[in-house]
Amino acid sequence: MGSLSRLVVLDTETTGLKPEDGHRVVEIGCIEILGRRPSGRRLHYFLNPERAIDDAAMQVHGLTLERLAHEPVFAQIAEALLGFLKGACLVIHNAPFDLGFLNAEFARLKMPNLAFHGDISVVDSLEMARQMHPGQRNSLDALCTRYNVSNSHRQLHGALLDAELLAEVYLAMTRGQESLAMATADDDPSMPQASDPALLSRLRVVRPSPEELSQHAAYLQALARACPQGPVWNRTVAAP
């Protein structure tokens, strides 16, 4: 089972919408997060799909067959990709889409699909967002707006760029931090400490509204679904 302390945020770009129609992966981007902080490790490949790219797909990511003609084919990077994903919990937005394409690529090589590897697990951030924000738009762009993640530099989709954005969105969604660059008191000794009397004197209790309580309950339900072994608060045994 993939470790929730080691996350790999993953995205792909493809030649079309359906792997069963012979469409292929043209780009893979992966960002590693350790202990809720980006480690600096990443994996990024452009791939020669060995087939034509649909016009609609080309308009999304801007990659042409001419641009990819001299890039490696999937068979050349398959082992390196598996090595990077080993032992991780994959965070993917609309996971069935990306996993469908990756598993089709492994099937062409007569290799087991990702579900075969017991040390790899998956969190679908789109499904999580739908549980947390029912009835709202939950595309990556919509979540960037909702969680104040800047995507103004994004003109076209790109696997590595989208993985970077999703990493920041996911950390914000799971309330670990609102930005990958957010400072902490340990990083900056000049920041006030939680035990500072001057800081404590300015604190006041703000009661949550019914809407906020409902949103919090939805958030806890989404976390429970994302934890393969169940959330720790459901597994804690009271001391005798």
Other beta carbons within 10 angstroms of residue 159's beta carbon come to 25
Catalytic residue among 93, 153, 157, 216: 157
Q: Is 216 a catalytic residue?
A: no
The count of other CB atoms within 10 Å of the CB of residue 88 is 25
> What's the CA gap between 105 and 19, in Å, rounded?
9
* DSSP structural state of residue 21: G
Alpha helices in 46-89 (DSSP H): 55-61, 65-68, 74-85
Indicate the Cα dihedral angle 38, 2, 109, 74, nearest 10°: -10
Which of 117, 110, 129 minimizes the C-alpha distance to 218?
Answer: 129
Q: What is the C-alpha to C-alpha distance for residues 209 and 215, in angstroms, rounded to an integer?
A: 10
164 to 35, 47, 120: CA distances (angstroms): 16, 19, 20
Find the helix or strand (DSSP H, E) in which 105 lies. helix 95-108
Pairing of strands 121-124, 88-92: parallel
Tell me how far apart the 2 most distant CA atoms of the chain are, in Å.
Answer: 68
Give the other-Cβ count within 10 Å of 176's Cβ.
13
Annotated catalytic residues are 157
